[in-house]
Amino acid sequence: MAILPLFQQSWQELYKITFTPLLPLLFLFSFLYVFKCIKSSGKPSLPPSPPKLPIIGNLHQLGSLPHRSFQALSKKYGPVMFFYFGHAPTLVVSSADMAREMMKTHDIVFSNRPKATATNSLLYGCTDIAFSSYGEYWRQVRKICVLELLSLKRVQSFQYTREEEVSILINKVRDLCLKGVSINLSELLIENSNNIVTRCVFGKKFGEVDGKGKSSELPRKVMVLLAAFFWEDFFPFLGWIDMLTGFKPSLKSTCGELDAFLDQVVEEHKTMKREDEHPNKKDFADILLQLQKNGMLDFELSHDNLKAILLDMFVGGSDTTSTTLEWVMAELIRNPSIMKRAQEEVRRVVGNKSKIDVNDINQMDYLKCILKESLRLHPPVPLSVPRETSESLKFGGYDIPPKTRVFVNVWAIQRDPKLWDRPEEFIPERFTNNPVDFIGQNFEFIPFGGGRRGCPGLTFGIAVVEYVLANLLCRFDWRLPSINAKGEDLDMTEVNAITAFRKNPLCLVPTLHSS
C-alpha cells in the first residue's frame, strides 16, 4: 500500500512538468473546437449543389434547354438540388415524391411568385393570375376567372365557338387537299387556338380586333420573353447588358404592342351594348367590366389589373393549346400504327355524322390515352412557372431559405424510369385502364402542375385539344411531305420558352378521307 502514495507523487510531478505548460494551448484548441461546432450547428443544411463559380454561381451549368440540363444534373446530385444563379438562390425539384411534399405538405410556403423584369413589364406589375403574389388579391382574381371562364359549365357553353372555329380550320385544310401540297399545320393550329381563345375572352377573333386579319405571333413572343435571361434579374448592376442583347428593346416593343391591343379591346367593350338577356353570349371581358362597373368585386380592379388578367387568359390559353396539338400530331406522324388505330376509333364513333359532338369525344378512349401520353412526353410547361418560398422551412430533410426560387422539373419527372416503363417511348396504351390522370393528384404526371398554383385552365384547354384532334384525325389522312420519309426523320427539336414549342413548323400533307 506504500507504493500508492509514491505513485501519486510521481504522477503529480509528471503532470506539472508535462501538462502545465500545455494548459493554455489545450484551452485554445478546446475553445476553437467548440466555436467551430457552434458555427457548424448554425449553418443551414442546404440540398446538394453542383460546384459554382464566383459571381455567376451555377449559371454556366444551364444549357439552351434548362429542363434537360437539370435532368442531367439530378442524376448526379439527386432529386432536390440547390443553385445560385447570380445572387438568386434557386431550388430544383426533380422527383414525384419531392413534388408531392412540396405541393401538398408545404403548398402554402411554396405558393408565392418571384418578381422578374419580364413579368413586371408584360403583366402590369404581376397583377395577373399566373405571376401575382400569393394572397387575397390572387385568390379573388383566380375565383372570378374560374367561375366566369374556366369552369366546366362555362367551358361547355363555349362549345359553339369551338365548333365554328374548328369547322373553319377543317374547310381550310380541305381546300388545301385539292392542291396536294404540304401545309404548315403549326401555323393553322396557332391561328385556330388564337381565334377560339380570343372569341371566348374578347368576343372577337384576333384579326378582327387588331385589324390585321391574320394570326398573331404575340402569345408565342410573350412566352419566349417570359423565359428569357435578363441580366438585371440576377445581376442588378449589369442590367445595361439587356440592351445589348436586344431583350430589353424587344420587351419594350412587345409591351407597347400588347398595351395598345388591350386598350382597344377594353375601350370597344365599354362602348358596345350587350344584350343582358343572353348572359352565355357574353365574353370574359364583358363580364369583368360589368363586375367592375357594378361594384360587385371585393377588391379594387384597376384598368391595368383588368388588362393583366385578360392578357393572362389570352396568352396562357392560346399558346399552350397550339403547342400541345403540334406535339400530338408530330408523335402520331412518327408512329403510323398508333395514328391508324386512333383514326379507326374516331371514325367508328362518328360514323356518317357531319359533325362531331361532345358525346362522341367522351367515347374516344384511345384518343384520350394518346393525348395523355403526349402530355407526358411533351408537357406544355416542362419547367414549372417559378415559385418562391415565403419563409424558411425544412424540405426533404434540408433547410430552404426564404425568398428561394423554386422550379419543378415536370419534364424530368414524367420521363423518370423509376416511374415509367420505357419512358422515352410514345406508348398510349400505358394509360389504358390506368387511373393516373393529369388533374394534379398523381405527382408522377403533372403537365398542368398541382397544388394552389396549378393551372386553372386545364378543362378549357383539354376541351379544345380533344375537339380539334378528333376532327383532324376523322376528316383526313396525314403523311410527311416526302413519300419515302420515315417517321423517325421528323425533327423533334424544341425551343426554350415558358411553353416548349417545336423549333421548326410541322409541315404535313393531308388527304381527304373518303368514308
Tens-digit pLDDT profile for residues 146-168 = 988 899 999 999 999 999 999 99
Is 118 a domain residue?
A: yes
End-to-end CA distance of the chain: 116
The reported pLDDT for the residue numbered 498 is 87
Annotated binding site for heme: 455
Is 122 a domain residue?
A: yes
Give the residue numbers spanning the domain of 166.
59-512
Is 414 a domain residue?
A: yes
Is 21 a domain residue?
A: no
Q: How distant is the alpha carbon of residue 99 from its chain centre?
A: 14
Asked if 82 and 49 touch (Cβ cutoff 8 Å), the reply is: yes
Annotated binding site: 455
| pLDDT mean over 206-218 | 58
Structure confidence at residue 37 as a pLDDT band (50, 70, 90): very low
Which distant-in-sequence residues (6+ apart) come within 8 Å of 356 by Cβ? 350, 467, 470, 471, 474
Structure confidence at residue 404 as a pLDDT band (50, 70, 90): very high
The reported pLDDT for the residue numbered 28 is 52
Is 475 a domain residue?
A: yes
Question: What share of the chain in percent tops pLDDT 70?
Answer: 87
Q: Is the pLDDT of residue 450 over 80?
A: yes
Give the total number of structural domains in the chain: 1
Is 446 a domain residue?
A: yes
Structure confidence at residue 227 as a pLDDT band (50, 70, 90): confident
Q: Is the pLDDT of residue 33 over 90?
A: no
The reported pLDDT for the residue numbered 29 is 44
Strand (E) or helix (H) holding 469: helix 458-475
Is 53 a domain residue?
A: no
Q: Is the pLDDT of residue 280 over 70?
A: no
- In 375-461 the beta strands, taken as DSSP E runs, fall at 387-388, 393-395, 398-400, 405-408
Q: What is the CATH number of the domain that holds 240?
A: 1.10.630.10
Is 25 a domain residue?
A: no
Q: Is the pLDDT of residue 7 over 70?
A: no
**DSSP track, 328-353:** HHHHHHH-HHHHHHHHHHHHHHHTT-
The reported pLDDT for the residue numbered 515 is 62
The reported pLDDT for the residue numbered 317 is 86
The reported pLDDT for the residue numbered 8 is 42
The reported pLDDT for the residue numbered 14 is 40
The reported pLDDT for the residue numbered 401 is 96
Q: Which of 41-50, 243-252, 309-318, 324-333 has the lowest mean pLDDT?
A: 41-50
The reported pLDDT for the residue numbered 340 is 97
Threshold 0.75, pTM exceeds: yes
Q: Is the pLDDT of residue 134 over 80?
A: yes
